[in-house]
Amino acid sequence: MTDIAISKLGKAFGGNRVVSDVTMHIRSGEFVAVLGPSGCGKTTLLRLIAGFERPDAGSVRFAGELASSATHHTPPEKRDLGIVFQNYALWPHMSVAENVGYSLKVTGVPANERERRVAEALKTVALDAMAERRPSDLSGGQRQRVALSRCLAARNGIVLLDEPLANLDVHLRAAMEHEFTRFHQASGSTMVYITHDQSEAMALADRVAVMDAGRLVQFAAPSTLYREPATEMVAGFIGEGIVLPAEDIVADGDGRAHASILGSPVQLRCAPGERARRRAAIGLHPQDIRLATANERGLSARIRRLSYRGGSFRAEAVSEAAPETVLAFDLPEQAPLAPGAAVSLAIGDGWVIPALAA
Amino acid sequence: MTLAAAGFARERPKRGLSIATETWVLGALGLFVIGLSFAPLLRLVFTAIAPDGWPDASRLGEVLGTRQVLAATVNTLRVALLSTLVSLIGGTLAATLVALTDMRGKSVWVFAFILPLMIPPQVSALAWVQAFSPSSPILGLLGLSLPAGARHPLYSEAGIVLLLGIYNSPLVFLTVRAALRRLPAELVEAGQAAGASQARLLFTIILPLARAGIFAGAALTFVSAIGNFGIQAMLGIPARFPTLITLIYQKLNSFGPSALADMAILSMLLAVLTIGGITLAGWLGSRRDVRVDGSARPLMLRLGRWRLPVELFAWSVLVATLVLPLSALITTSLVRGFGQELTLATLTLQNYTSALFRQAAIREGFLTSLWLTTTTALVLTAVSILLGYFLTWHRSGFVRVLHLAGELAYALPGIVIGVAMILFFLKPLPLTGFSIYGTVWIILAAYLASFLALSLRSTLGGFAQVDRSLEEAARVAGAGFLRRMRDIVGPLVAPAAAAGAIIVFMSALNEIQSSILLVSSKAKTLGPMVVFLEEGGSSTLAAAVGCLMVAAVLVLMLTASALSRFLPRGVLPWQN
């Protein structure tokens, strides 16, 4: 069992708090993505877990055993974890096989077992033919697979991935995402995947931890993040989210609520404990907005911009009542609308973002 | 059982061991640098300001106030300033030609232009002295011999200024070339668009923009001129023209009870002048014009019909300053007696066989030097890789202090280090009752202190090219500190470290200043040999030893050049 228990972790660089009060429990064998805009502290979190940085406060435990705290520090070389670095960090002076087998050599695994495990790991990522090549002779995708097989051969209980797709071409990314899933299934390792790309995070992870300004904002399954964002930041960040102000929220006790958005009545989802509120922020997605039918009382807006998305148009409309509110939604290709056209919009779904805990 | 569970079942090594290794290594590095570079210099300052154990400025004032010291200080500053002017003109002209024009055969020319800087100054001085002596084999050949019995023209202040100026020109060349290379082509093209001629461009736009580099080069040259013992001693002592550095050397010969304390005071004066010059160089170098931080597209002025005359001029300068003196040296080394004409009848290899085999003292000098320089290069390479690791990836106040101490020991004239070593190691080492003074070990200590910065600079250049994640990946693979250094970091910085080792080897082989103070009957090195032989009247033998040293330098430079495709740009100064 290699779970990671992070408790109240904090780290500052010269008075600048980069990670503050992060608490999360990553279950053994889980695939967790840490997602956030650049500068949110996700890379520092990874370096704290890896042991490259020492925390100022809080602790990190692997399988119950203390690895990091303000007073205790297990150096990275004693943590038994694997890292896939953004630039792969393959040693240029060693062959592919030597790269993959290095950690086994260091820990004193006998030569014949080492060779067997290296061959096995390279076979898993379909690089067995490249074993004697130098890293410089490989393509970007192949280097990435060598980095992965390095963790496979070491049989690390924990594997950390630091934006591993950032340096790859778009067409390679999909293939590599598949490779990560396969790796996760083959190794059963606990995986922590750092990324700023939400589609990667949503596609790969069992749970996603969203970070903002050094804090853990929400840690939940991808669909929960999408449907039930905990804060306005998450609501706006995930899935082209739109945050709208609503008034007169009345919860009916079973997770449904009704309210008024820019003067139009809407049906919403909310947390079970939600109470009646005068004002709230609502999180929704372009998929939740459509043109109102003739007998619906819609929200009047004006189309500001249309961009073709292949098969449909993405429309940006500005509310007549509040011109600073931009509503994005999809229009079918056949619908003939021009910028400047007046439309009536209906909101089909939305999530009442919980009030900030006092 | 999943793979993960199997992995985790792997036995965990005991904790805490690796922290200990790193701390240990850092402590040892600290002891090495502080013990060899910092402590002896501290001892020197202490002796200078507190000769009897408590602060006493009276002696300081007494020594600094003597006419002899005042005259030597004035002389030192005069030759340093005047020779800086010579270097400034020569170096800037050379840098302009190489960096900005379409002159042909640049790489060979640059190699030959930098070469004098790599030759020991005492050998250079010897070559010049022989070339211009009344019985010069070269001038004689050209029919230009000076009248016999005339005073040697180079045994004068002008001679020292000329030789120092020529010797240090490559220093100005290097900094100015670097400044010119940073110059964005747009600024010059804008001037061209405004209709300026090429000469006008050079004087109104290019050189003013490169002035930070020119001034920094001038300050460096000034420092180097103050501390150039070889030329000042070879020319200044026969000319009875005392400078600070020769005064310190001569004090040692008149060893009295107060000599050491006086040497310490003079060394401190020399150190203060040097540090002043370096501070000035650093300040000037950092005052970079913001407008020149553009895209550095190489710019090229066309020489047009002037190309051939300019090339002829550039090469004839090299003939006059390099080929002429060196051929005098070679000629002298091949005849039996100084002044003899070189013909088939007089040609002999006797001087070389004497130097290498027959003269026990010279042979031992070669062997001792070889042993010392090899040891210095190897030890410093290891120290530089370890210190470079901490400086690059685990910077702390402590390692910065070590870096500074190393740079300081390198910047100070070797004679200052020599005096500091004598003062520090004169008394027996604690616990052993054994004094290394007078043995080969004190010379080794001086070399290790003097050349650490040289090896470190090159190695740091190598570290700058290594991505840190390569080392971090080795950490997560479970490799401890020493293992990482051996398997990962060492091989990755090896080319740069090797280049550093070659440069250290070359500098230590040529070293004269601390050696000349520290050599004894038990331990002789090659550097001062030329001076001793020339002083003793064995000019032909001195010439042979000098030629052998130049040959060794050439071999080392070419070896390092062969490594150059593995090296970061700028590690080898003589490459264009």
Report the share of chain B in percent with pLDDT over 90.
Answer: 29
Q: Does A85 touch chain B (CB under 8 A)?
A: yes
Sheet strand arrangement including A57-62: A16-26, A4-13, A57-62, A65-69
Give dist(CA B142, CA A119) in Å, integer: 75
Contact A106 B2 (CB under 8 A): no
What CATH class is the domain B17-289+329-566?
A: mainly alpha
Over residues B414-423, the mean pLDDT reads 91
Give dist(CA B330, CA B547) in Å, integer: 6
On chain A, the residues whose CB falls within 8 A of the CB of B15 are: 74, 78
Q: Does A83 touch chain B (CB under 8 A)?
A: yes
**Mean pLDDT per segment of 10 residues, for chain A of length 358 residues?**
90 90 94 92 94 93 93 89 90 92 92 93 88 90 89 90 84 83 89 92 94 93 94 91 90 86 88 86 92 84 89 88 86 81 89 77
Q: How many helices (H) and strands (E) are present in chain B, helices listed first?
A: 29, 0
Tell me, letter by letter, the H, E, C secondary structure of B339-384.
Answer: CCCCCCCCCCCHHHHHHHHHCHHHHHHHHHHHHHHHHHHHHHHHHH
A153-165 burial, b if ≥16 CB within 10 A, otherwise e?
bbbbbbbbbbbbb
* Segment holding B187, helix H or strand E: helix B185-193
pLDDT at B13: 43
Interface probe, candidates A53, A77, A159, chain B, greatest B C-beta count within 10 A? A77
Q: Give me the helices (H) in chain A, please.
A: 42-50, 96-106, 111-124, 140-154, 170-187, 198-204, 222-227, 232-237
Closest partner CB to B4 (pick from A50, A85, A157): A157
* B279 three-state secondary structure: helix
pLDDT at B576: 67
Give dist(CA A113, CA A153) in Å, integer: 11
pLDDT at B250: 86
On chain A, the residues whose CB falls within 8 A of the CB of B18 are: 75, 77-78
pLDDT at B5: 40
Contact A150 B492 (CB under 8 A): no
Amino acid at B131: A
CB A176 within 8 A of CB A164: yes
Q: Does A110 touch chain B (CB under 8 A)?
A: no
Q: Which of residues 455-484 of B touch A (CB under 8 A)?
A: 467, 469-470, 472-480, 483
Residue B83, CA atoms < 13 Å, CB-side half-sphere: 32
Q: What dihedral do alpha carbons B140, B142, B143, B146 form, nearest 10°?
A: -50
pLDDT at B298: 60
Over residues B147-166, the mean pLDDT reads 84
The sign of the CA dihedral A280, A283, A284, A285 is positive
- How many C-beta atoms lie closer than 10 Å to residue B344's C-beta? 5
* Domain spans of chain B, in order of start: 17-289+329-566
- How many C-beta atoms lie closer than 10 Å to residue B152's C-beta? 16
**Model pLDDT for residues B10-23, shown as the tens digit of each residue:** 444 444 444 578 88
- Return the top range by mean pLDDT from A149-153, B1-5, B126-130, B445-449: B445-449
Mean pLDDT, rounded, of chain B: 83
Contact A189 B15 (CB under 8 A): no
Give dist(CA B206, CA B291) in Å, integer: 12
Token digits for A128?
């067995």
Whether pLDDT at B498 is above 90: no
Q: Does B20 touch chain A (CB under 8 A)?
A: no
Q: Is B94 left (phi over 0), alpha (psi -120 to 50) or beta?
A: alpha
- How many C-beta atoms lie closer than 10 Å to residue A242's C-beta? 21
Contact B7 A190 (CB under 8 A): no
On chain A, the residues whose CB falls within 8 A of the CB of B19 are: 73, 75
**Bridge-partner residues for A44, per DSSP?**
none
On chain A, the residues whose CB falls within 8 A of the CB of B10 are: 80, 107, 155
Residue in chain A nearest B469 by alpha carbon: A89
Q: What CA–CA distances, in Å, run from B143 to B137, B140, B336? A: 10, 5, 22
CB A91 within 8 A of CB A99: yes
Distance, C-alpha B426 to centroid of its chain? 27
The domain made up of A4-227 is a member of CATH 3.30.70.1230:
no
Higher pLDDT, B523 or B73: B73
Q: Does A102 touch chain B (CB under 8 A)?
A: yes
Residue in chain B nearest A187 by alpha carbon: B3
- How many C-beta atoms lie closer than 10 Å to residue B54's C-beta? 7
Superfamily, domain A240-352? Nucleic acid-binding proteins (2.40.50.140)
Contact B2 A75 (CB under 8 A): no
* A187 three-state secondary structure: helix
This complex has an ipTM of 0.83
On chain B, the residues whose CB falls within 8 A of the CB of A86 are: 469
pLDDT at B26: 93
Beta-carbon contacts of B23 under 8 Å, excluding residues fewer than 6 positions away, are none
Over residues B367-393, the mean pLDDT reads 94
Q: What CA–CA distances, in Å, run from A27 to A30, A158, B475? A: 5, 11, 24
A242 min Cα distance to partner chain B (Å): 38
* Domain spans of chain A, in order of start: 4-227, 240-352
Residue in chain B nearest A161 by alpha carbon: B473
Q: Does B4 touch chain A (CB under 8 A)?
A: yes
A12 min Cα distance to partner chain B (Å): 17
Beta-carbon contacts of A91 under 8 Å, excluding residues fewer than 6 positions away, are A98, A99, A102, A135, B470, B473, B474, B488, B492
Q: How many residues in total does chain B contain? A: 576
Contact A50 B13 (CB under 8 A): no
CB A183 within 8 A of CB A127: no
Contact B4 A80 (CB under 8 A): no
Over residues B231-252, the mean pLDDT reads 89
Closest partner CB to B478 (pick from A106, A157, A190): A106
Closest partner CB to A87 (pick from B19, B467, B491): B467
Whether pLDDT at B294 is above 60: no
Give dist(CA A66, CA A62) in Å, integer: 7
CB B501 within 8 A of CB B383: no
Whether pLDDT at B78 is above 90: yes
Beta-carbon contacts of B245 under 8 Å, excluding residues fewer than 6 positions away, are B76, B226, B227, B228, B229, B232, B233, B270, B413, B415, B513
Q: Does A87 touch chain B (CB under 8 A)?
A: yes
**Model pLDDT for residues B24-70, shown as the tens digit of each residue:** 899 999 999 999 989 999 999 988 888 777 777 787 888 788 888 89
B485 min Cα distance to partner chain A (Å): 13
Distance, C-alpha A89 to centroid of its chain? 23
Tell me, letter by letter, the H, E, C secondary structure of B437-492.
Answer: CCCHHHHHHHHHHHHHHHHHHHHHHHHHCCCHHHHHHHHHCCCCHHHHHHHHHHHH
Q: Give me the helices (H) in B12-66, please.
A: 17-33, 39-49, 57-65
CB B207 within 8 A of CB B507: no
Closest partner CB to B3 (pick from A77, A81, A187): A187
Amino acid at B499: A
- Dump strand ranges (E) for chain A: 4-13, 16-26, 31-35, 57-62, 65-69, 81-84, 158-162, 190-195, 207-212, 215-220, 242-251, 256-261, 264-269, 277-284, 289-291, 299-308, 312-319, 326-332, 342-347, 351-352
Q: Does B558 touch chain A (CB under 8 A)?
A: no
Closest partner CB to A155 (pick from B7, B467, B474): B7
Residue in chain A nearest B494 by alpha carbon: A93
Q: Does B1 touch chain A (CB under 8 A)?
A: no
Token digits for A208?
């996603």
**Bridge-partner residues for A316, per DSSP?**
A305, A328
Contact A189 B13 (CB under 8 A): no
Least confident of B13-27, B350-364, B523-537: B13-27
* A40 three-state secondary structure: coil
Give dist(CA B181, CA B98) in Å, integer: 10
**Model pLDDT for residues B321-351, shown as the tens digit of each residue:** 888 888 888 888 888 877 777 777 777 888 8
Q: What CA–CA distances, in Å, run from A87 to A273, B468, B473, B493? A: 46, 10, 11, 19
Give dist(CA B460, CA B553) in Å, integer: 24
On chain B, the residues whose CB falls within 8 A of the CB of A92 are: 470, 492
Q: What CA–CA distances, in Å, run from A118 to A85, A137, A184, A268, B428? A: 19, 19, 18, 54, 57
DSSP state of B304: G
Site of tokens 């922290």: B19
**Bridge-partner residues for A16, per DSSP?**
A13
Q: Which of residues 362-391 of B touch A (CB under 8 A)?
A: none
Contact A83 B2 (CB under 8 A): no
pLDDT at B9: 38
Q: Does B444 touch chain A (CB under 8 A)?
A: no
Q: What dihedral do alpha carbons B357, B362, B363, B367 form, nearest 10°?
A: -160
Site of tokens 């950092």: B286
B490 min Cα distance to partner chain A (Å): 11
Higher pLDDT, B563 or B423: B423
Closest partner CB to A93 (pick from B4, B476, B492): B492
